[in-house]
A and B are shown apart, each in its own frame.
Chain A
Amino acid sequence: MELKGSEIIIKCLEKEGVDVIFGIPGGSVIPLFDKLYSSKVRVILTRHEQGAAHMADGYARASGKVGVCVATSGPGATNLTTGIATAYMDSVPLVAITGQVATHLVGNDAFQEADTTGITRPITKQNYLVTDVRELQDTIAKAFLLARTGRPGPVLIDIPVNIQNETCKFDPHKKNIEIRGYKPTLKGHPKQIRNACDLMLQAKKPILYAGGGIIISDASKELKKLAEKLNVPVTLTLMGIGAFPGDHKLFVGMPGMHGTQTANYAIQNSDLIIAVGVRFDDRVTGRLDKFAPHAKIIHIDIDPTSISKNVSAHIPIVGDCKVVLNQILECLKNKKIEANKTKDWLKKLDEIRKQKPLTYRKDSLLRPQFVVETLYNLTQGKNVIITTEVGQNQMWAEQFFVYREPRTFLTSGGLGTMGYGFPAAIGAKVARPDREVIDIAGDGSFQMNIQELATAKVNGIKVIVLILNNRYLGMVRQWQELFYGKRYSSVFLGDLKAREYWPDFKKVAESYGLIGLRVEKKKDVEPAIKEALKAKETCVIDFRIHEEENVSPMVPGGASLDQILELA
């Protein structure tokens, strides 16, 4: 079958099961968009390419499928980069297709030319510049294979405009492609598995430290089985939230900078850390040389470079979390497990949980934690997906809502991208129209992709945006308050003279033909959220919260996990 490059792209997308793509056209992708016009693939036109990348990301995180975004050459491609880097840091399967100037112009500083593969090299798992239409089919197949397997990540395909117009043979029955330099290890080394099991059976103060790898490999069931079998407490990283039920008696919360007292105590005093699908990020470990001084470490991850990068592992196990956890469960099958071994340890952790819970002042002020809690009480966390922006809002969304299932908490963990949450919510809603998708937002972050309100409106995509509006770049203000003597440098988002709020988010929502609400009093929180839940259209609620609320507890940057400030 002889096809044009642009048709081959569509055929390949269909073959990969892509039902929707997010993007904006431009000079060098007009041929592709021309074919999209008459294809079954749904195209969601966004208002900014960054929005498109985050939507594809939100779609991918909510569904487990590969998200796809498209942009034109030059500025279109550079606008995608923040979204691509966000997906890269959080191991999200994404395929980004960019147009490029015609092959004979590449390298000539042509109109709207940017070295897209050069720019995205360090933020993609792999990228390709297609210089021959005959390579197009295989390249797209490789891109999808790389994006979704192993440690997933974004892959970019840069396709010059003339390649989209040239024709070549397309083989609809081509069998699966292989990449000779790419063979992720899925199964753990049997000897290491045995050694790990031995350590697990001996430990008196073990802790399971699990992360995004569990969600990616769909290993929540296995994680729960292991925790319950060994009676081991579980802590989840920001990326792992939802991988283990947040209301389970073995759950101790999140570790690290804004983690719970219990989780940080557990790590610092444990004799064994069973790390699964995590990478010992500095926001988790705090000061490295003081991290978990008494613990042996078993580290399970599909990416060998994550193991012994920051913290050296006593037992490194390279493999897929689900596969390895099953190997471990199998190995433990015939072993005698003393369920009482961890009893004292769990009791101690329970005490700390009771003495030092996550909390906030319950007075008459409208505090952000109360908003998040009310959202939880109204939904019971059922049938919802929460996305977040970055900053204080992100931490409150994690702390005061209970997540029980994977893929229900979508947040930019690694890159910490303000402006992620709203477009990600739109993408998540496209993937899961059966769910209520709610962006817990900050006033600063929301303004970074606020233009996507139009995308939500025009495409009839209903999400809810709860703005925890402190009129500050709150997280930065918190650092300035605590560590820079309250010198609030460039963090106030209001009008310094008139002390007014800009913009009026209610009016902004309304100007897009959507629902805008404003809440200033505690008593109005519940009715407003109820209204938003009932609404058929996207609804933005501007919660004018107490402005100088801090996220608590806090381990200052570079301090050890024992040095916890209580700020509530």
Chain B
Amino acid sequence: MKHTISALVENRPGVLAKISGLFSARGFNISSLTVGETEVPDVSRMTIVVTGDDRTLEQVVKQLNKLPDVLKVIDFKNEEFIERDLLLIKVSATKETRREIFEVANVFRANVVDISLDSCTLELTGKETKIQAFVKILEPYGIKEMVRAGIVALARGKK
């Protein structure tokens, strides 16, 4: 099972190492980890997607809470939340296929951000499932390179 957890942490050197070190030392499986600034300058938000059963998740949350550099842990299991990932993908595109690819992009509301003679690069924001579907559709054209930024998440509604 995949779980999304968000942690507000001290924005100082070494904190990312502490958290990633904790995950590897305890054998927790990270499928995505992102760090970014928040509305408070000295606080960063980490969004971590872990794979594991409920027991593992419980340990992950407890272990994170135990670190003095972690200010708050939000386990989205019990909350409604919005999550987004960002994809940049470079697909082979000839004069003949370019049109088709643009159509696909249009349906997915992806942006075309770069074009060359034999390829084009698209940008897509969305949930994991949407991104996966998009990549799958583009596969037949030939994916030259792609990168995902990792998942970011926020709880819905009021803070």
List A residues at the B interface (Cβ < 8 Å). 117-118, 121-122, 125-126, 129, 146, 179-182, 303-305, 308-309, 312
Q: Known: A129-B14, A308-B58. Is A179-B21 also a contact (CB below 8 A)?
A: no
Query: Would A181 and B70 be within 8 Å (CB), given that A122-B25, A304-B62 are in contact?
Result: yes
- 5 A-B residue pairs with Cβ-Cβ distance under 8 Å, sorted by A, are A129-B14, A146-B68, A181-B9, A181-B71, A304-B65
Q: How far is the CA of A441 from the CA of B13 in the complex (A)?
A: 43
Q: Given A122-B25, A146-B68, A308-B55, list of 10 further CB < 8 A pairs?
A: A122-B21, A126-B68, A181-B9, A181-B10, A181-B67, A181-B69, A303-B66, A304-B65, A305-B62, A305-B66
Q: What DSSP secondary structure best describes chain B's contact surface?
A: helix
Which residues on A sit within 8 Å (CB–CB) of B69?
126, 181
Asked whether B21 lies within 8 Å of A121 as measured between CB atoms, the reply is: yes
Nearest-Cβ distance from residue A551 to partner chain B, whole angstroms: 31
A309 to B63, CA, bound (A): 11
Q: Which residue of A lies closest to B70 (CB)?
A: A181
Q: Measured between C-beta atoms, what is the minimum distance from B2 to chain A in Å?
A: 22
The 8 Å CB contact of B68, one of A118, A182, A304, A312, is: A182
CB of A275 to closest CB in B, whole Å:
17
Interface residues of B in 44-58 (CB under 8 A from A): 55, 58
The yes or no answer to B59 lying at the interface (CB within 8 A) is: yes
B66: chain A residues at CB < 8 Å are 303-305
Asked if B18 lies at the interface with its beta carbon under 8 angstroms from chain A, I say yes
Report the minimum CB–CB distance from B42 to chain A (whole Å): 10
CB distance from A21 to the nearest CB of B (A): 23
Which residues of chain B come closer than 8 Å to A182, judged between CB atoms? 68
Contact with A along B56-100 (1 / 0, CB 8 A): 001100110111111100000000000000000000000000000
Docked complex Cα distance between A35 and B6 (Å): 45
Tell me whether A118 and B67 are in contact in the complex, defined as CB-CB below 8 angstroms, given that A308-B58, A309-B59 are known contacts: no
B17 at the interface (CB under 8 A from A): yes
Question: When A122-B25, A129-B14 are in contact, do A181 and B68 touch as well, CB less than 8 Å?
Answer: yes
A interface footprint on B14-27 (CB within 8 Å = 1, 0 otherwise)? 10011001100100
User: Which residues of the other chain, A, contact B65 by a CB distance below 8 angstroms?
Assistant: 304
Chain A residue with Cβ nearest B69: A181
Measured between beta carbons, the chain B residues less than 8 angstroms from A312 are: 55
Q: Please judge, given known A-B contacts A117-B14, A129-B14, A181-B10, whether A305 and B63 are in contact too, CB under 8 Å.
A: yes
- A residues in contact with B55, CB < 8 Å: 308, 312
* Residues of chain B contacted by A303 (CB below 8 angstroms): 66
Q: Nearest chain A CB to B40's CB is how many angstroms away? A: 11
Closest Cβ of chain B: how far from A443's Cβ, in Å? 34
When C-beta atoms are compared, the residue in chain A nearest to B14 turns out to be A117
Shortest A309–chain B CB gap in Å is 6
Q: Which residue of B lies closest to A125 (CB)?
A: B68
Contact partners of A179 in chain B: CB under 8 A: 68
Q: Whose C-beta in chain A lies nearest to the C-beta of B25? A: A122
* A304 cross-chain contacts in B, Cβ below 8 A: 62, 65-66
Q: Which residue of B lies closest to A146 (CB)?
A: B68
Q: How far is the CA of A122 from the CA of B65 in the complex (A)?
A: 15
Of the candidates A122, A125, A146, A312, the one having the most CB atoms from chain B within 10 angstroms of its own CB is A122
Shortest C-beta distance, B8 to chain A (Å), equals 9
Q: With A305-B62, A308-B58 in contact, do A121 and B17 touch (Cβ < 8 Å)?
A: yes
> How long is the Cα–Cα vector from A286 to B21 in the complex, in angstroms?
28
For A126, list chain B residues within 8 Å (CB): 67-69
Residues of B within 8 A of A181 (CB): 9-10, 67-71
